[in-house]
Structure 1
Amino acid sequence: MGYLMLLALANGLCIAASRAINGKLAQSRGAMSASFWNHLGGFLFLSLPLIGGSAPYRLPLQAPGLAWLGGVLGAWFVAINSIALPRLGIMRTTLLVIAGQMIGGVLIDYLSGPGAKSIPLQLGGVALILAGLYLSKRRPESPAESPTPSGMRRPTL
């Protein structure tokens, strides 16, 4: 279990790095270009085991329809992140994406039934993430903006 938790944590670090790279690429080339290069790189990487004959993958024509939908949603995910990240920053974008994923997970659990008992805890997790987002927006005043003991603002040089 600990190994899987570390693996999931490493996955999150890879996602954050990927977002940062795609955000920079989107600034210079555009969001759809960033999404294209992201998915082309992923395709080439994942094709290596298939070409080597060691992967137990089926041919794309035999893939279920949801497999194709997953690719389309993944491309949109990268494109939308590439647009939002340069404007919102890495931390805010990541917190909003995680909050959206948790809300989606709560809805799926609610609709599928088995995880319905944990929904209050999941909603609490969403609330904590949104609270973190709110707190990250609040910036402390710089020394030049904070009032002096007499109530007057410090002059800026």
Structure 2
Amino acid sequence: MITSILLALINGGCISICRIINGRLGQETGALNASLWNHLVGFGFLSLVVWLTASTSGSSASVSATLDAPLLAWSGGIIGALFVALNSYVLPRLGASLTALLVIGGQLLTGVGLDALSRGISTVQLLGVLCILAAVWQTKRG
């Protein structure tokens, strides 16, 4: 459990660093170009990782399973590209801290909304949404 928590924290740090780098690249080249380069480099890196792991394990199950994924599963790439483009556009205008707060707030609100659709919303979740909105409002005021 501790390892998973540490990996999640490291992942959050990587995301913050990635946002800042892409925001700077977006200032220099434009948001769409920043998103393009982010995804091209990521595609190349992950292709190499998949190729190396498939060749060392002696099976290509992960590659064939990926190719057999339903069409809806591929929409994640489109959403990811849109995320990077929007973040590259917004970050230089709002700053890293406010952008991170708003992105995390949006993620939490979306998660609560999806939970509400599937199993209803609890009082604690509603209180959490109100805290998120209050934090965004306070940051905007101050």
Same fold, TM-score > 0.5, yes or no: yes
Deviations 1:40-95 (A, max 9, x none): 12111211232222474234542221221000000000000011100011111111
1:74 to 80, 105, 109: 80
Contiguous gaps of at least 5 residues in structure 2: none
- State the percentage of identical aligned residues: 52
TM-score of the two chains, using structure 2 as the length reference:
0.84
- Tell me which of the two structures has the higher relative contact order, counting C-alpha pairs closer than 8 angstroms and 6 or more residues apart: 2
Point out the structure with max Rg over C-alpha.
1
Whether contact under 8 Å (1:25, 1:34) holds in the other structure is yes
Whether contact under 8 Å (1:26, 1:83) holds in the other structure is yes
What aligned pairs does 1:1-157 form with structure 2 within 5 A after superposition? Answer: 1-52=1-52, 53=54, 54=57, 56-59=61-64, 61-113=67-119, 116=120, 119-139=122-142
Q: Which has the higher helix share?
A: 2
Q: Distance in 1 between matches of 2:102 and 2:138?
A: 13
Name whichever of 39-48 and 15-24 sits farther off: 39-48
Q: Distance in 2 between matches of 1:120 and 1:45?
A: 43
Q: How many aligned positions are there?
A: 136
Q: Distance in 1 between matches of 2:95 and 2:29?
A: 18
Secondary structure of the equivalent of 2:46? helix
Contiguous gaps of at least 5 residues in structure 1: 140-157
TM-score of the two chains, using structure 1 as the length reference:
0.77
Q: Distance in 1 between matches of 2:115 and 2:41?
A: 33
